[in-house]
C-alpha cells in the first residue's frame, strides 16, 4: 500500500477574487496578482542548470509542511502594502500539466504586490515544499 496522497482539485480563481474583493481589506487594495505553478515536462536541471541529458518529466511527487507554509504567509502579510493573501498547494502524485500551487496576493501598489508575491512564492518553493520529479 502506498502512502502517497492523491492530488487535490484546484480552486476557482474567480471565486478567490470574488472573496478577496469582498474582504475587509478590499478598499485598500489596488492590485491582485496570481501565481499558478504547474508541473512542466522539462526537468528542473534543464531549466535551472542548463543540463541537456535529462529525459522529459512525466510527473512529480509533491508535499509540503503546513506549519512552514503558514509561517511564510504570516511573514508575507507583514510586508508593506500587503492586504490580502491566499495560498493553495496540491499534494501527492502529480502529472505534467497538473497545478502545483496557486498564490494570490493583493496590495496597495504594483511594486509592493510584485515583491510580496515573488518573496512568498520563493519562500514556499525553497523552504516549505518537497518536489521529486518522475522521469
pLDDT tens column, 45-71: 898 888 887 889 999 999 999 999 999
Question: What fold does the segment set 29-134 form as a domain?
Answer: Aldehyde Oxidoreductase; domain 3 (3.90.1170)
Q: Is 61 helix (H, G, I), strand (E, B) or coil?
A: strand
- Pick the closest to residue 56 from 97, 100, 93 (CA basis): 97
pTM of the model: 0.92
Indicate if the pLDDT at residue 105 is higher than 70. Answer: yes
Average pLDDT, the chain: 94
Distance CA 92, CA 66 (A): 14
Is the pLDDT at 35 greater than 80, yes or no?
A: yes
**Segments making up each domain of the chain, as ranges:** 29-134
- pLDDT at position 53 is 78
The whole-number pLDDT of residue 5 equals: 64
Cell of 128: 516549505
Rounded CA gap, 43 and 32, in Å?
Answer: 30
Q: What are phi and psi of 25, to 5 degrees?
A: -80, -10
Q: Are 26 and 93 in contact (CB under 8 A)?
A: no
Amino acid at each position: 500500500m502506498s502512502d502517497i496522497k492523491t492530488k487535490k482539485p484546484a480552486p476557482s480563481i474567480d471565486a478567490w477574487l470574488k472573496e478577496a474583493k469582498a474582504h475587509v481589506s478590499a478598499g485598500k487594495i489596488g492590485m491582485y496578482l496570481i501565481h499558478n505553478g504547474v508541473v512542466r515536462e522539462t526537468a528542473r536541471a534543464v531549466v535551472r542548470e542548463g543540463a541537456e541529458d535529462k529525459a522529459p518529466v512525466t510527473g512529480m511527487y509533491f508535499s509540503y509542511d503546513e506549519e512552514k507554509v503558514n509561517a511564510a504567509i504570516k511573514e508575507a502579510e507583514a510586508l508593506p502594502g500587503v492586504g490580502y493573501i491566499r495560498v493553495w498547494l496540491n499534494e501527492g502524485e502529480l502529472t505534467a500539466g497538473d497545478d502545483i500551487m496557486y498564490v494570490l496576493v493583493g496590495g496597495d501598489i504594483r511594486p509592493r504586490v510584485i515583491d510580496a508575491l515573488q518573496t512568498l512564492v520563493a519562500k514556499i518553493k525553497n523552504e516549505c515544499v518537497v518536489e521529486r520529479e518522475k522521469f
